Amino acid sequence: MSRTWRPVLWILAAIAAVHLGLAWRFPGLAAASARGGLQGFGQILAILPAVLVLLALFDAWVPRAVVERSLGPGSGLRGVAFAMLLGTAAAGPIYAAFPLGLSLREKGARTANLVIFLGAWATIKVPMLMLESAFLGPRFALIRLALTVPGVLGCGFLMERLERRPAR
């Protein structure tokens, strides 16, 4: 078994152990939890083929030089703004962003820009802001946005700094 699968198997074993323990004390709750987990896994499997096709098209159509120029180490503030824009304009669940993030990383994207892209995808999508404004009010949406943007930017630069530290 390859080393990359070991953490996945440990996580699956932990989930199974929790469900077995839950089933012993609360069988109805364990069954509902297992159903919910399987439904979520089914949703991922339904979207994954389309994500992989789009990722293959991205790999084939977008040259490495374009990614390096737009999001690479020399992109500066323009790259940060572009990463934020890409993340906010994206559609789909966050797990669809990770394969794209891997492809961006392999094509030379800067770590900070990659984390900013993923953070924006997860927290600052335009449709999400519109729904927040409609249901919770524009004031709530703007305050949350004002608090989230610095957090996403800070996480990006902190991650890049931590990644550069030598292993101990």
Q: Which of 116, 117, 138 is nearest to 129 (CA)?
A: 138
pLDDT at position 167 is 57
Between CA 92 and CA 113 the distance in angstroms is 19
Global pTM? 0.80
Query: In the prediction, which pLDDT does 166 show?
Result: 66
Q: What's the CA gap between 118 and 16, in Å, rounded? A: 29
pLDDT at position 168 is 58
Q: What is the pLDDT of residue 93?
A: 87
> 127 with 119: CB under 8 angstroms?
no
Structure tokens that stand for 145 in this block: 């946005």
Give the per-residue pLDDT at 95: 87
d(CA 72, CA 68): 4
pLDDT of residue 3: 75
CB atoms within 10 A of CB 72: 19
Angle 111-123/76-89 helices, nearest 10 degrees?
A: 30
Provide DSSP, 120-139: HHHH--HHHHHHHHHHH-HH
Tens of each residue's pLDDT in the chain, 168 residues: 667 788 888 998 998 898 899 889 999 998 898 899 899 989 988 988 888 898 889 889 999 999 999 999 999 999 999 999 999 998 888 888 998 999 999 999 999 999 999 999 999 988 889 999 999 999 999 999 999 999 999 999 999 999 887 655
Q: Where are the domains of the chain?
A: 6-48, 62-164
Q: What is the pLDDT of residue 19?
A: 86
